[in-house]
Structure 1
Amino acid sequence: MPNNSYRDKRIMDDCIFCKIVKGEIPSYRVYEDDDILAMLDINPFSKGHLLVLPKEHFENIYDIPTELFSKLMTKSKKIAEVLKEKLNPEGMILQQNSGEKAGQSVHHIHIHLKPVYKDTDIPAEKHLRQELTQEELQEIHSLLLLEEL
């Protein structure tokens, strides 16, 4: 049974997802534990489109503690496996948008699990890619090469 004591967690009064976590706004919850909530998206991309989010308010990937983000991703994977078993999609889009420019519309970090079926229409612009020269790739590689994390 989920812990409904949110007094010790970060909750924002003006955040729609925080209101859902607190039970102030109804939702179609499919999974819940002390830290994570998964629910149907009310404006789905496809049948079974779910949102998986931490109950505690963190705006984006830069804000959430690493340990909680790991749990969010682990639960998302397990939930995706259930979606595959129950709905039999041909594929799955796992999506996380951080920042308005990246398409984040609710500023409470969340993962989209979007089942893809034979007849799912995926807009072509989502697959546009830049063509970079070898020099541009080498420059970016030099900037991002990590010794350790």
Structure 2
Amino acid sequence: MASVFTKIINGEIPSYKIAEDDNFYAFLDINPNAIGHTLCIPKKEVDKIFDLDEETYMGLMAFSRKVAKALEKTVDCKRVGIAVVGLEVPHVHVHLIPLNAMSEMTFQHKVSLTEAEFKALAKKVNAAL
């Protein structure tokens, strides 16, 4: 059965898309730790990051870096943190989290945005790419 992320890639579930290319997709996390919390995923559904072939792994890191640089340009933060946990969804995903405090990296601190705020932020970050 397809993961929730595969359903997002296929357009079966809506998302606030930041970036997309032939192999990867980036979108705003709908339950964000901080404003701008973004997920970067390979379009190829693989459960564990270290099970990716080396080319896909390196491509995901390069894609994530590009998105992180755009986040730094558009979201007020000291830096963009990165995390790969992989327990909630069986599809490799990289969390990019704009940080101003360590608490934003704990996955216990959450922020709320309206649909309009999500859309505006996605558009702004995409423009910075």
TM band (smaller chain): 0.7 to 0.9
* Pairs aligned (count): 107
1:113 is aligned to 2:96: yes
Residue 34 (structure 2) aligns with: 46
Which residues in structure 2 correspond to 1:46-125 (within 5 Å)? 46-98=34-86, 104-117=87-100, 120=101, 122=103
Q: How far, CA to CA, are the matches of 2:74 and 2:102 in structure 1?
A: 21
Deviating 4+ runs (over 4 angstroms): 123-126
Tell me by how many angstroms 1:125 deviates: 7.5
Q: State which structure, 1 or 2, has the greater radius of gyration over its C-alpha atoms.
A: 1
Could you state the TM-score of these two structures normalised by the residue count of structure 2? 0.76
Tell me by how many angstroms 1:123 deviates: 7.1
- Structure 2: which 5+ runs fail to align? 108-129
The one-letter amino acid paired with 2:11 is G
Q: How far, CA to CA, are the matches of 1:124 and 1:38 in structure 2?
A: 19
CA gap of 1:67–1:44, structure 2 versus 1, over 3 A, is same
- Structure 1: which 5+ runs fail to align? 1-12, 99-103, 127-149
Q: How far, CA to CA, are the matches of 1:21 and 1:69 in structure 2?
A: 18
Deviations 1:75-102 (CA, angstroms, capped at 9, x unpaired) = 111111111111131122100114xxxx
1:27 is aligned to 2:27: no
Q: How far, CA to CA, are the matches of 2:38 and 2:105 in structure 1?
A: 22
Could you state the TM-score of these two structures normalised by the residue count of structure 1? 0.66
Greater per-residue helix proportion: 2
Deviations 1:87-135 (CA, angstroms, capped at 9, x unpaired) = 131122100114xxxxx20010010000012xx4617989xxxxxxxxx
Q: How far, CA to CA, are the matches of 1:122 and 1:84 in structure 2?
A: 18
Root mean square deviation of aligned Cα: 2.0
Deviations 1:35-77 (CA, angstroms, capped at 9, x unpaired) = 0000000000000000000011011123211100100001111
